[in-house]
Structure 1
Amino acid sequence: MPRSGFFRLLSAPGILLASASALVVPSDAIAEESRRELPPVTVDAPREKRASPARTQRTAARSTRARAPAIAPAQSTAASEGASVPGALTVLTAQQALSEINQTPGGVALVTAEAYRNSTPASTIKDVLDYVPGVFAQPKWGDDTRLSIRGSGLSRNFHLRGVQLYMDGIPINTADGYGDFQEIDPTAYKYVEVYKGANALQFGANSLGGAVNFVTPSGRDRFPNGVSFDVGSFGFRRLQANAGGANGPWDGFITASTQATDGFRDHSFGSGNRVSGNVGYQFSPDFETRFYLNANEVRQRIPGTVTKASALTNPEAAAPANVALDQQRNIDTVRLANKTTIRFDDTRFEFGAFGVDRHLMHPIFQWLDYRYKDYGGFAKVTDDRIIGGYRNRLVAGVNLLNGSIDNRQFANIGGQKGALLSSAIDRSKNTSIYVEDSFYLLPNVAAIAGTQFLHASRDRHVRVFGNGIQPGSTEFNLWSPKTGLLWDIDPTWQAFANISRSAEVPSFGESSNGGGGTPVIDFTRVRPQIATTYEIGTRMKRPDYAWEITAYRANIRDELQCLFGTSAAAGTGTCNVANLDRTIHQGIEAGAGAAIVRGIFDNGPTPDKLWLNVAYTLNDFRFDNDPNYRNNVLPGAPRHYLRGELLYKNPIGFYFGPNVEWVPQAYFVDNANTLKTEPYALLGLKAGFDDGGPFSAYIEGRNLTNKTYIASASIINQATPNSALFEPGSGRAVYTGMRYRW
């Protein structure tokens, strides 16, 4: 490729690969006042039975060979959760999960609850992922967020596409691929795993953005009981409590929260009640089963997108149509699942099943009444042994996700149901089979190869014709191969490279939102989005500094993109999604954390320090010689995105310092590159107490300069100055909270 492409990124202004210390990511847990080098660990929990001599010999041989170093990639955290009751097999500790995820030769991250839970309101997914490079998460209203990883789902103006969400390995996304954030409760998790792109092989390498897995604690974790209370600006308030414990082979954990907000904008008030829990039983130290429950009740008004002028001059105003139609997104969900883990000498076997009942009550331009029934299962085997004197790690599995959508659309009369306008049953089936092998050519160098096969089908049966919907069915059979190298330079430092493919199957939402309710292209004609990604990077975690830097280029064929084609509909913020020819997504994801000053007032064994955190993302997303848009920039994401903070941290647990969010260049909101957002910089400040013990408290100020800015935007093919595409960001806000756990 020409130098104007990928290699130009490596010499972009302000990006010095040789000076990674200038690109920083946040410290992992504010409670951890000193960063200690983490020893290598195994994923297995401690055993009680005596090992055979042969097994002891195998284990000793394996321990002399390189294990994945227990380092924190980017925003990831050290396992600062403290000691756990030994023996939980189905729920890994953060340290075990970190060792597991670091065996991926690509961009990954692990974020423990301590990284955000005790120092922010932890009200949206943005609070969780704010310091993970490559992730662009911006608030819209209530719990809703616009999430894009490596430019995924840029054209999806509603819900989520391009990133697969999981809760304890159980899909949050529907069977046809779209997701919502209302079911995510950031107070409920012990850690969150982020797999970028096709690095999410075990979850199915079928999305450009990868996968995010939210993991709840078990009753065997430290501090299973707790209560917290948070309040703040715009009427925000939340009460959360959790309880758990272990008794012999049994353990259990439950967490519940109730949350409400009046909202910064008009017509943006909402509330949510959420419960998550699990019960586990150990038949033996090597055999455990666990049952999961998750339930949500969310009621949320939608303020809507407005023109750029309205967003910047009157940011609190809602779109008039949203108020007139009393537009809302209300969700009731119940999720049940089981996961069982059996461990043999060198092999770990996991399997389970799940079912989800979801009811979406969604008055918008019409009154959408959708009922989802999703179900599926999974099985995974991990074999890690010495073969002919060489370590070999084999991971293989199968995922099944099927479901149906009973969708009925009514006329919306001031927020109330009117006449039935259309009705259909949409059925989706997805079966993925994957295998990945890591063969250690040297004690610290692994050659990795794998693939995934995805069989997916989409079938629509129309009961009441209307809104231009048509019956039909389509089927996909897709391969996603992967190869890579992982080099454990030392126990704290890794380098990696890979070439991988992702294959993203369209959902029923693609090409079904045409002007006047008439689709331009039938959904059966939409092709899957195929991306081949080249990736290289390195990550390190040491006591007083941690960093990662990753460069990637994705060559995409048939990217799912907004291609409505008429300016009359351009002002509505809706679009008809179809396939582009070829596009390019490339960029740099960089970050680090460093104690730039130590021993300011305390030079003891754990001195105080001034800790600098920065996460930086460079996005270069563009058309590739498109017949209509030539080499235009793809809309929907900023070229540069920076999050940073400077915290003074005292060993007694006190911390304070400023932070910044900076988008130095406006980004386009249409394919024709005619309309942009505005650049912005937001200043924040936080202070609090967290010594890793039972009690913690914080106070945080956001957007202290009361900057009027655009937080997120919908995209279309060609905009006008009056296109209603923009979501204003919130004004000055202050939040405070406290937590007690035991």
Structure 2
Amino acid sequence: MAHPFSLSLPRPKHLHCALLCALAATSAAAADAEQTLGTMVITGSRVEASSFDMPYSIDAVQLGDTAEGLRVNVSEVLGSVPGVVVQNRQNYAQDLQISVRGFGARAAFGVRGVKLIADGIPASNPDGQGQAATFNLDTAERIEVLRGPFATVYGNHAGGVIQLFSRDGKGAPRIRGSVYAGEHGTYKIGIGAEGEKNGVGFVLDASRFETDGERRYSAARRDQSFAKITLAPDEDSKLTLLFSSLHQPDTEDPLGVTWNTYKRDARGVEPIALQYKTRKSIDHLQGGAVYERRFGEDRLQVQAYAGQRSVTQYQSIPVAAQANPRHAGGVVDFDREFHGIGARWIMQREIGAGKLTLTTGVDHDRAEDDRQGYENFVGSTFGVKGRLRRDETNTVTSTDPYVQATWQQGDWDWSLGVRHSNVRFEVDDHYIVGPNGDDSGSVRYRKTTPAVGVLWRATPLLNLYASFGTGFETPTLGEIAYSSSGGFNLGLKPSTSRQFELGLKAYVGERTRLNLAAFQIKTRDEIVSAGAIGGRTSYRNASKTLREGLELAVETEFTDKLSARGALTVMRAIYDESFDTVDSGNRIPGVPRISAWGELAWKPMAGLSTALEAVHRSAVEVNDSNTGKAAPSYTLLNLRLVAEQQSGPWTFSQLLRLDNVFDRKHIASVIVGDGNGRFYEPGPGRNVYGGVQASYRF
């Protein structure tokens, strides 16, 4: 086994463009600007604190009122965070592919291995599966991304935590409207209102996004709405009411393509997708409330939420495969009801020469799926709902108490966290026909996951830290749904990890900030694909895996008008022990060895800004055996121009973007372990889009 952090760095020929932006920030810094010590964050410690003073890797991406993109996908805004790879599949039927330090890259749909939270309310189910499409970027104030050992204190996941915070309604009431449009019939229109009146803050938003798709047969429509009301029942308390909805009907699913199809036509689609009219419809509705009350130096925080989600998906499973009487059919149809409640007590005390912050809390979450499966044909007509082949109720509940403590004394901060996860899966099978027996059953997973960290303020401009923690990741409902022998895979074990991180956070001069982290993650029983039979993927436990790497984030202001930001991740992610036909040393599929992002921004005058962005991904494997054609590396360049004007109560802004300037042909993401060899999801070519926004302040 390799020595910890023994990275052998590849030298891909197209890396240089991205590194210019990512590393240029260390070259110089002006000496006449005031220094700002750290963005304030909440994720990790659960209390507001400077990210500069946290003993773990956490970054906050600020989103202003003026859009720099369509604000449809978080892939538009998370490029500046090292350790995070957000791949836009160009397939709205399957959502984004998000991985953090390599966790989540195997997800065939949705977000796996990464905890998603919006305004304190989980956007991930108790089984660990989440949907980034529910994030509303039009109303977001910032997104915080936590990686490493302390992310494990948030429960059932392994990689990290992505938490969105929407704006509070403040200031004079104002209304806004926006229209954006681009190639392939793409457009987005939105309206909104926000502000404060008689002590009541409000943020309201509604939008429609529609596209014919970058690839053929990938049209989508997405209607979103959002409402946030903030009240102050008295001077010591705050109540926030939240509502959101997502309506996405008949989203075309172009599936992945084989390598030969991609080489022949980067916008191509396999005939089987057209034959079976593969598509998905989603309706998601939820509401929640967050209450906070102060008791002197202490605080009580309580949140509750409930919602419904309905999904109907037509898959491309051939008729012959469904001849097996135990097959669940080619149409997935479920209605989910979910709810949860959480409470925490935050106590702060000055004790002698130090300060203690203690947080104790408990989270309870439940999701129940009324799930059916149908044949995707009637006679010789394909892509229609046929006979019933599956009927069951799937229930997942989790109850997790946790404790976190921080002790600050002099130049040292000590942090400790521990969470006990108790996750129960229950399957109640109602479809018992002929040889298809009763597959009802249940399984429970329990694990206590501690984390500890220490930070040393070496100088006022340099902090050094170390942290260690254990992680816990159960299978998802989708992963236990099928086994190679038929029925549910209730014998699938959860994966566990041991994570270690060393890092520094520093200011160089007065205008340059730098974060550097080295990490190592050892995982047992990682859940991987066991193969696909009859169009259904089953999963198994691998033996041992190893992830180790370096993350660098840097930002600087060369002058008042010229600035740069960059993020670089170099990671070695391998199977550390052989199992079945997978050899020790094989790369974990879906994880790029190098990921880099850079931005050079120029503001020639007030109200006008332009930027050059560079994105680089190294090659990624597509299956555990590393026998498939790896998706090649690529480097993309993007340009944007943003303008803003004010006239009395009116504010106008304009956006113009040119993405993939040189029309680089590339694979944006891969479907890990696809049983039909359709691993590849091509990325978009050169794209131009733009739009305008107008707001009026009363």
TM class, shorter-chain normalised?
Answer: 0.7 to 0.9
CA contact (8 A) 2:221 2:248 kept: yes
| Partner residue, 2:476 | 507
- Residues 456, 465 of structure 2: 8 Å contact kept: yes
CA distance change for structure 1 residues 224 and 455 in 2, over 3 Å: closer, same or farther?
A: farther
In the alignment, is residue 461 of structure 1 matched against residue 428 of structure 2?
yes
Q: Aligned pair 1:316/2:314, yes or no?
A: no
Residue aligning to 1:602: none
| Offset from partner CA, 1:122-145 (integer Å, 9 cap, x none) | 221101211110001111124421
Alignment partners' CA distance in 2, 1:25 and 1:276? 38
1:451 maps to 418
Task: Name the amino acid aligned to 1:133.
Answer: P
| 2:554 corresponds to which of 583, 586, 592 | 592
Residue number among 74, 77, 97 corresponding to 1:128 in the alignment: 77
C-alpha separation between the residues in 1 aligned to 2:169 and 2:499?
Answer: 40
How big is the shift at 1:647? Answer: 2.0
- Call closer, same or farther: CA 1:493–1:469 in 2, change over 3 Å: farther
Of 70, 88, 102 in structure 2, the residue corresponding to residue 139 of structure 1 is: 88
Mapping of residues 627-638 of structure 1, within 5 Å: 627-628=579-580, 629-638=583-592
- Provide Cα deviations, 1:13-70, integer angstroms capped at 9, x if missing partner: 79xxxxxx9784899xxxxxx97533xxxxxxxxxxxxxxxxxxxxxxxxxxxxxxx4
Q: Per-residue deviation at 1:102?
A: 5.2
1:527 to 478, 489, 493: 493
3-state SS of 2:77 partner: helix
The equivalent of 1:418 in structure 2 is 386
Alignment partner, residue 640 of structure 2: 686
2:5 is aligned to 7
Displacement, 1:97?
A: 7.8
Question: Which digits, 9 at most, give the CA deviation of each residue in 1:316-374, with x for residues without a partner?
Answer: 11222222111112111111111100012211210021101111121114121111111
Q: Does the CA-based 8 Å contact 2:136-2:226 persist in structure 1?
A: no
Q: Tell me, in whole angstroms, the C-alpha distance in 1 between the residues paired with 2:529 and 2:173.
A: 47
* 1:327 matched residue in structure 2: 278
Tell me the equivalent position of 2:454: 485
In the alignment, the residues of structure 1 paired with residue 232 and residue 5 of structure 2 have an alpha-carbon distance, to the nearest angstrom, of: 53
- Residue among 668, 674, 692 paired with 2:621: 668
Instruction: Choose which of 508, 529, 539 in structure 2 pairs with 1:577.
Output: 539
Name the one with the larger strand percent.
Answer: 2
Report the TM-score when normalising by structure 2.
0.87
Change (3 A) 1:234 1:459: same
Q: How far, CA to CA, are the matches of 2:645 and 2:151 in structure 1? A: 34
Q: Does 1:544 align with 2:542?
A: no
Aligned to 1:37: 35
Task: Tell me the amino acid that sits aligned with residue 614 of structure 1.
Answer: G
- Equivalent residue runs for 1:164-563 within 5 Å: 164-200=115-151, 204-220=154-170, 225-299=175-249, 300-365=251-316, 366-413=330-377, 414-440=382-408, 442-465=409-432, 470-489=439-458, 493-513=462-482, 522-540=488-506, 544-563=511-530
Pair 1:691–1:449, CA change in 2 (3 A): farther
TM-score by length of 1: 0.82
8 Å Cα contact 2:343/2:363 also seen in 1: yes
Q: How does 1:718-729 map to 2 (within 5 A)?
A: 723-729=677-683
Matched, 1:658 2:600: no
* Structure 2 counterpart SS, 1:126: helix
What is the distance in 2 between the residues matched to 1:104 and 1:723? Answer: 44
CA contact under 8 A between 2:178 and 2:694: conserved in structure 1? yes
Q: Is the 8 A contact 1:161 1:177 kept in 2?
A: yes
Q: 2:89 is aligned with what amino acid? A: K
Q: State the one-letter code of the partner of 2:660.
A: N
The aligned residue for residue 698 of structure 1 is 655
Question: Which whole-Å CA distance do the structure 1 matches of 2:652 and 2:187 have between them?
Answer: 19
Give the Å deviation of 1:532: 0.7
What SS class does the counterpart of residue 262 from structure 2 fall into? helix
Q: Secondary structure at the residue paired with 1:182?
A: helix
**Cα 1:594–1:302 shift into 2, 3 Å:** same
Shift of 1:415: 3.0
Structure 1 position 616 matched with structure 2 position 578: no
SS of aligned partner of 2:75: helix
- Distance in 1, Cα, partners of 2:634 & 2:262: 13
* 1:651 Cα deviation from its structure 2 partner: 4.2
Q: Is the 8 A contact 1:584 1:623 kept in 2?
A: yes
- Secondary structure in 2 matching 1:451: strand
SS at match of 1:9: coil
Question: Are residues 170 and 374 of structure 1, via their aligned partners in 2, closer, same or farther at CA, if it must alter by over 3 Å?
Answer: same
CA contact (8 A) 1:25 1:593 kept: no
SS of 1:141's equivalent in the other structure is: coil
Pair 1:315–1:651, CA change in 2 (3 A): same
Displacement of 1:425: 0.3
Local SS of the residue matching 1:323: helix
User: What CA deviation, in whole Å up to 9, does each residue of 1:101-128 have, x standing for no partner?
Assistant: 55542111111113x9622222211012
Give the gaps of 5 or more residues in structure 2: 13-18, 26-31, 317-329
Computed over aligned residues only, the root mean square deviation of the Cα atoms, in angstroms, reads 2.8
- Aligned-partner residue type, residue 121 of structure 1: L
The CA deviation string for residues 679-710 of structure 1, in whole angstroms up to 9 with x for no partner, is 21212222222589943322111112212111
Question: 1:627 is matched by which residue type in structure 2?
Answer: F
Deviation at 1:729, TM superposition (A): 0.6
Aligned identity (percent) is 22
Contact 2:368/2:396 (<8 A) preserved = yes
Shift of 1:224: 5.6
Distance in structure 2 (CA, Å) of the matches to 1:527 and 1:616: 33
- Return the letter of the residue paired with 2:235: P
Whole-Å separation in 2 of the counterparts to 1:472 and 1:396: 33
Give me the whole-angstrom Cα distance separating, in 2, the residues matched to 1:284 and 1:25: 49
Contact 1:224/1:253 (<8 A) preserved = no
SS in structure 2 at match of 1:524: coil
1:274 and 1:339, CA in 2 relative to 1: closer, same or farther beyond 3 A? same
Letter in 1 for 2:407: F
1:730 Cα shift? 0.8
Give the equivalent residue in structure 1 for 2:321.
Answer: none
Residues in 1 aligned to 2:522 and 2:85: alpha-carbon distance in whole angstroms:
20
Shift of 1:465: 4.1
User: What's the CA shift string for 1:511-549, capped at 9, x where partnerless?
Assistant: 4356xxx55684210111111100111224675222211
Contact kept in structure 1, 2:611 and 2:640, CA below 8 Å = yes
Distance, in Å, in 2 between the alignment partners of 1:522 and 1:147 is: 27
**Aligned in 2, Cα 1:262/1:25: closer, same or farther, shift over 3 Å?**
farther
Q: Give the SS at the match of 2:56.
A: coil
Per the alignment, in what secondary structure is the counterpart of residue 187 of structure 1? helix
SS of 1:268 mapped into structure 2: coil
Residue of structure 2 in register with 1:643 after alignment: 597
Q: Note if contact 1:651-1:691 (Cα within 8 Å) is conserved in structure 2.
A: no
Partner of 1:105: 55
Pair 1:585–1:293, CA change in 2 (3 A)? same
